[in-house]
A = this chain, B = another copy of it.
Amino acid sequence: MHQTNLEPALLAISLSRQSAEPLQAQLAHALRTLIDRGIAPPGARLPASRAFAAELGVSRATAVAALDQLRAEGYLASRRGAGVFVAHNLPDAPDAAPRPPSPAPPRAGALAPPPPTAPRPFHPFEGGADETLFPYRDWARLLEKSWRAPDRAALCAPDPFGWPPLRRAIAAHLAAWRGVEDDGAPIDPARVIITAGAADAASLIARAAFAPGGAIALENPGYRPTERRFQAAGLAIVDAPVDANGLDPERLPTADGCFLTPSRHYPLGVALPLARRRALLEWAGAAAAPRALIEDDYDSEYRYEGRPIPALAALDDGAHVLYLGSFSKVFSPTLRLGFLVAPARLIGAFADAIAADGPQASLIPQPALAAFMESGGYAAHVRRMRRRYGERRKALIAALQVTIGDDLKPAPEPSGMHLVCRFSPALAARLTDAEASARAAEAGVSARALSSFYRDPGAAPFQALILGFSAFETAALEAATHRLALALRP
Binding site for B on A (CB under 8 A): 32, 73-75, 91-94, 97, 107-115, 117-122, 128, 131-132, 136-137, 139-160, 164-165, 167-168, 189-190, 196-197, 199-200, 225, 228-229, 232-234, 332-337, 356-365, 367-368, 370-371, 374-375, 471
- A367 touching B150 by the CB < 8 A rule? no
- B121 touching A157 by the CB < 8 A rule? yes
Contacts of A92 in B (CB 8 A): 149-151
Q: A111-B151, A159-B118, A363-B335 are in contact. Are A229 and B357 (CB under 8 A)?
A: yes
Contacts of A146 in B (CB 8 A): 109-111, 140
Other A-B pairs, 4, CB within 8 Å; known A108-B374, A131-B152: A73-B153, A91-B153, A109-B368, A364-B365
The answer for the CA separation of A119 and B359 in the assembled complex, in Å, is 13
Distance in angstroms from A388 CB to nearest chain B CB is 15
The answer for the CA separation of A97 and B150 in the assembled complex, in Å, is 13
Q: A73-B156, A115-B168, A119-B157 are in contact. Are A94 and B358 (CB under 8 A)?
A: no
Across the two chains, which residue of chain B brings its CB closest to A29?
B153
Distance in angstroms from A137 CB to nearest chain B CB is 6
- A367 touching B159 by the CB < 8 A rule? no
The answer for the CA separation of A359 and B200 in the assembled complex, in Å, is 11
Contacts of A139 in B (CB 8 A): 147
- A156 touching B190 by the CB < 8 A rule? no
The answer for the CA separation of A233 and B144 in the assembled complex, in Å, is 38
Across the two chains, which residue of chain B brings its CB closest to A147?
B140
Of A119, A199, A336, A364, chain B has the most CB atoms within 10 Å of the CB of: A364
Contacts of A94 in B (CB 8 A): 149
- B107 touching A145 by the CB < 8 A rule? yes
The answer for the CA separation of A159 and B25 in the assembled complex, in Å, is 13
The residue from B137, B229, B357 contacting A199, defined by CB atoms under 8 A apart: B357
Contacts of A155 in B (CB 8 A): 111, 131-132, 332, 334
Q: A155-B132, A363-B334, A363-B336 are in contact. Are A109 and B142 (CB under 8 A)?
A: yes
Distance in angstroms from A296 CB to nearest chain B CB is 15
In the A-B complex, the 9 residue pairs with the closest CB atoms: A109-B371, A334-B363, A144-B144, A111-B150, A122-B157, A140-B147, A336-B362, A199-B357, A122-B156
- B232 touching A117 by the CB < 8 A rule? no
Q: A113-B153, A147-B143, A152-B91 are in contact. Are A228 and B356 (CB under 8 A)?
A: yes
The answer for the CA separation of A395 and B154 in the assembled complex, in Å, is 26
Contacts of A168 in B (CB 8 A): 115
Across the two chains, which residue of chain B brings its CB closest to A206?
B232
- A336 touching B357 by the CB < 8 A rule? no
Contacts of A196 in B (CB 8 A): 196, 336, 360, 362
- A364 touching B367 by the CB < 8 A rule? no
- A159 touching B114 by the CB < 8 A rule? yes
Across the two chains, which residue of chain B brings its CB closest to A137?
B148
Contacts of A114 in B (CB 8 A): 151, 153-154, 159, 164
- A140 touching B136 by the CB < 8 A rule? no
Distance in angstroms from A229 CB to nearest chain B CB is 7
The answer for the CA separation of A114 and B189 in the assembled complex, in Å, is 12
- A225 touching B149 by the CB < 8 A rule? no
